[in-house]
C-alpha cells in the first residue's frame, strides 16, 4: 500500500514511541516510516511509479544512512532525543544512536 493511509499507519507508532520515549518502538518503526515517507515524496515528484504489487519499496542500507535519513528522518530523531532529554533518559538516546549508526 503506497498511499496516505499507509503513511498514517506507519507514523502513528513512531509518534507514540517519541511521546513515551520508547527506544525499542522508535527503532522498530523508524525505517518503515522512512520508507513510506521517501516513497510518497518521490512519487509526488514524479521520480517513481507505484509498484505493480502495490508494496512500498524497501530502502537500501545506503539510502537509510544517507539522503533519506537526512531529508526526512532528522526531525523524527530530533523529536525523540528532545523528549528523552526532557525526561532525563540518556540511555534511550544512546540505544537509538547505537541502532541507527
Task: Give the tens place of pLDDT for each residue, 73-83.
Answer: 999 999 999 99
User: Do the beta carbons of residue 43 and residue 50 sit within 8 Å?
Assistant: yes
Give the integer Cα–Cα distance in Å for 39 and 66.
15
Neighbours of 32 (CB within 10 A): 18
Q: What is the pTM of this model?
A: 0.88
Task: Give the tens place of pLDDT for each residue, 9-66.
Answer: 999 999 999 999 999 999 999 999 999 999 998 899 999 999 999 899 999 888 888 8
* Residue 92 pLDDT > 90: yes
Amino acid at each position: 500500500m503506497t498511499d496516505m493511509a499507509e503513511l498514517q499507519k506507519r507514523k502513528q507508532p513512531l509518534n507514540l514511541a517519541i511521546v513515551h520515549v520508547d527506544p525499542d518502538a522508535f527503532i522498530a518503526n523508524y525505517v518503515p516510516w522512512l520508507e513510506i515517507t521517501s516513497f510518497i515524496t518521490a512519487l509526488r515528484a514524479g521520480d517513481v511509479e507505484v509498484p505493480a504489487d502495490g508494496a512500498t519499496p524497501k530502502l537500501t542500507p545506503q539510502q537509510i544512512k544517507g539522503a533519506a535519513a537526512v531529508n526526512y528522518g532528522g526531525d523524527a530523531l530530533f523529536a525523540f532525543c528532545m523528549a528523552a532529554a526532557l525526561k532525563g533518559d540518556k540511555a534511550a538516546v544512546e540505544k537509538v544512536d547505537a541502532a541507527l549508526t
